[in-house]
Structure 1
Amino acid sequence: MAKKAGARDPSSRQQMIADHVMSEGTAVAQELAEQFGVSLVTMHRDLDELVRRGIVRKYRGGVTALPSSVFESNVTFRLNTAVPEKQAIAQLTRSLVEPGMSVLLDDSTTTLAIAEALRDISPLIIITNFMPIIRLVVGWDDVHLISLGGEYNPMHDSFIGVPCAQAAQSLRADVGFFSFSGIDNAGVYHQEQEVVFTKRAMIGAAARRIVVVDHTKLNRTALHRVAPLTDFEQVVTDDKAPSTVVEGLRRQINVLVASPPHS
């Protein structure tokens, strides 16, 4: 296996280590140190950080990837995956928002990218249960922020549960953007029941409902079906989505495909 340069910042290296471990399933610490060109002590520090973030589990001499249902829930992990694709999706969905609208954004890193893309559209009402979006928009001019409180979940960095659902049910947004663990022709899915309850309430609070998912979520399912595709107006994904999967979805719902600027 080709040796990777060790001269990079720890955050980037740790993301590459996480990607490698999740691809292979397990890895030996000494081999990882050699592969990434760092000392064994440094590698153990990197692995300890990935353990702290809930992405891998250490065993004597190595690490193993946690089940996908665990690391996909970790917001720190999700913030560093499919970033160009999420940004492309955000730029495309930006055209669906006009000044004066109320916009509901769920607790996903794709909707965080959408929030960033809405920076120069105002006035707006932004409704969300996701702390990174709240932190992002709290100081913006001409943006009225409504945060959906409830039980704080540190793994998701968001609010969920009955109070959050009740807050959502008392509102009616012009448009809502929602992301999920998986999507197929039968509907959209998430692996955690407590999150499903909150998402359903938020979906019901939007007049127009848009699914925003990068290509890694397509043709996948999870434990709980959140809603059928008929509950949504359209799906927005990126240009790495297999054409056969996109065409299959288009038999059920309108699908928009976003391309990054360099494509």
Structure 2
Amino acid sequence: MTTTGAEARRQIITEHVLKHGTASGAELAELTRVSLMTVHRDLDELARRGVLRRFRGGVSALPSTVFESNLDYRLGVNTAEKEAIAKTAADLVEPGTSVLLDDSTTALALARLLVDQAPLTVVTNARRVIDLFAGHEDIRLISLGGEYSHTHDSFLGVPCLEAVEALSLDMVLVSTSAMDARMTYHQEQDVVLVKRAMLASGTRKVLLMDRTKLARTALHRLAPVEDFDHLVVDDGVGGELLTSLRERTDVRVASTG
């Protein structure tokens, strides 16, 4: 099969797994009408690119304590909650200030709202946020360079760290993959290092978290909840967890209604 055919098949596999969360090798072989051996080669390549995660007998787009989901998968889940959180967070941002947005899908939802709150200085390592603000005359856009990550569609690594450490910003708005009542977490060390540097660069720190990320942990600790000036969650968070979080920081609850 030609390279073009292989790429088309891998796109079909990717779209199927992003839609369903997981799939077996046999299921994907039937879907694409190729041999199981060919499917396994496709899955090896997609895993190498960070698009999907291999497990025994199949492949997954779902997060775990040691693997983060691909950006395309995260863009398609919990969209109402992310949009509500973004709307509430946008009220914290004042025109004329400098803000840093990380490469999370919730920050991308926020970026779409901030286009109308110019003038702003926006700093980001997220390619899609860069594309969103590029060309807006009233937005001063600073792109953080680094090594490109297919999984996150953003820039990470030492060059990104060094660029962040050279800045001092009015507000930093980030999300991460997991948190409990005391601590925030992420699966990947490179992401943790960049997010820590981002938080250190900001006068005010805002954490954006939908309910699916709460009461969970991941491999690496990011920062204590009390290090954030504000936490914005959706109205699916409540009970003892919400009470505990409010003991540690200012919590804003976004309505999804």
Question: What is the TM-score with the length of structure 1 in the denominator?
Answer: 0.79
Residue 220 (structure 1) shift: 1.0
Picking from 70, 75, 87, the partner of 1:74 is: 70
Picking from 49, 54, 57, the partner of 2:51 is: 54
Residue ranges of structure 1 left out of the alignment (5+ in a row): 1-10, 34-38
1:156-192 deviations in whole A, cap 9, x for unaligned? 1111112111111111111110111111122211111
1:88-108 deviations in whole A, cap 9, x for unaligned? 101111111111010110111
- Secondary structure of the equivalent of 2:232? strand
State the partner residue of 2:249.
Answer: 253
- Secondary structure of the equivalent of 2:116? coil
Residue 18 (structure 1) shift: 4.0
Picking from 124, 134, 139, the partner of 1:138 is: 134
State the partner residue of 1:65.
Answer: 60
Q: Residue 106 in 1 paired to residue 102 in 2?
A: yes
Residue type matched to 1:230 in 2?
E
Residue type matched to 1:134 in 2?
I
Picking from 215, 221, 231, the partner of 1:219 is: 215
- Secondary structure of the equivalent of 2:117? coil
Question: What is the TM-score with the length of structure 2 in the denominator?
Answer: 0.81
State the partner residue of 1:177.
Answer: 173
Q: Residue 29 in 1 paired to residue 27 in 2?
A: yes
Residue ranges of structure 2 left out of the alignment (5+ in a row): 1-10, 37-41
Q: Residue 166 in 1 paired to residue 162 in 2?
A: yes
Residue 194 (structure 1) shift: 1.1
Alpha-carbon RMSD: 3.2
Q: Residue 199 in 1 paired to residue 195 in 2?
A: yes
Percent of pairs with identical residues:
44
Residue type matched to 2:241 in 1?
V
State the partner residue of 1:3.
Answer: none
Asked if structure 2 preserves the Cα contact closer than 8 Å seen for 1:18 and 1:56, the reply is: no
Asked if structure 1 preserves the Cα contact closer than 8 Å seen for 2:18 and 2:72, the reply is: no
Asked if structure 2 preserves the Cα contact closer than 8 Å seen for 1:54 and 1:71, the reply is: no
Asked if structure 2 preserves the Cα contact closer than 8 Å seen for 1:15 and 1:80, the reply is: no
State the partner residue of 2:8.
Answer: none
**CA 1:255–1:26: 2 relative to 1, 3 Å:** farther
Cα distance between partner residues in 1 of 2:158 and 2:54: 32
- Secondary structure of the equivalent of 2:123? strand
